[in-house]
Amino acid sequence: MLSRIKNKFSKFFELISKPFLFLEPNYITILGLCFALLVMISFYYKNLILALIFLILSSLMDAIDGYIARIKGKVSKFGAFLDSNVDRLSDALILLGIGFYVENLLLSYVALISFFMVSYSRSRAENFIQRCDIGFAERAERLIIIIISTILEFFFNVLIYTLIFLTIMSFITYLQRIVYTYNKLKSS
């Protein structure tokens, strides 16, 4: 959903990218993974403040790595491949951390499966059709919801419900992509 309107945020990305322009885009991608590891550790130790800070930083790195690659003229197939793989690892670390925090690793595992299926279904579908970025629970939306829920967790116990909600929405997105791909292939 947000992937369709990200061009409207180009000024915002330009502003937040300036302090990182000295870094190579792939280093920013790896830095985002390091922040995701710190998210997991922070959640494990039940430090919501640090988890929130590192979650925002990890999400920020994911948002600007491609932008910086484009403005520096360093877009590459390997960079796209690395970014996609690091996104999956980051998702796993963040969900594992939340699983530790809410003391429900099984739920975080099921959520991880649903997150992976959203990405996998898009990847496979785009071997056969032009684009398959439909559905509510794309990565950017999931991260925003996790950030908001982490803020709310200071006042209410919402993270476990967030995991349940995101798992359901991700499985719905996965099914939407299957149906969408089926219909596109059938009509061609």
Chain-centroid distance of CA 187 in Å reads 31
Q: Is 91 a catalytic residue?
A: no
Predicted TM-score (pTM) of this structure: 0.93
- Minimal CA–CA distance to 39: which of 83, 103, 89, 82? 89
Q: Which of 65, 83, 87, 91 is catalytic?
A: 87
pLDDT of res. 29 = 98
pLDDT tens-digit series, residues 43-71: 999 999 999 999 999 999 999 999 999 99
Mean pLDDT of the chain: 94
Q: Would you call 106 helix, strand, or coil by DSSP?
A: helix
CA distance 15 to 133: 26
**83 found inside a domain:** yes
148: domain CATH number is 1.20.120.1760
Q: How many domains is the chain built from?
A: 1
pLDDT tens-digit series, residues 134-160: 999 999 999 999 999 999 999 999 999
Q: Does residue 116 register a pLDDT over 80?
A: yes
pLDDT of res. 3 = 58
Query: CB atoms < 10 A from the CB of 76, how many?
Result: 11
Spatial neighbors of 159 by CB under 8 A, at least 6 apart, are 98, 101, 102, 149, 150, 153
In terms of residue numbers, what domain contains 85? 22-187
Q: What is the mean predicted confidence (pLDDT) over 27-38?
A: 98
Q: Is 61 exposed, middle or buried (0-12, 13-18, 19+ CB in 10 A)?
A: buried
Q: Does residue 4 register a pLDDT over 60?
A: no
42-59 as b/e: b if 16+ CB within 10 A:
bbeeeebeebbbbbbbbb
Q: What is the mean predicted confidence (pLDDT) over 173-179?
A: 97
**119 found inside a domain:** yes
CA distance 56 to 116: 21
**150 found inside a domain:** yes
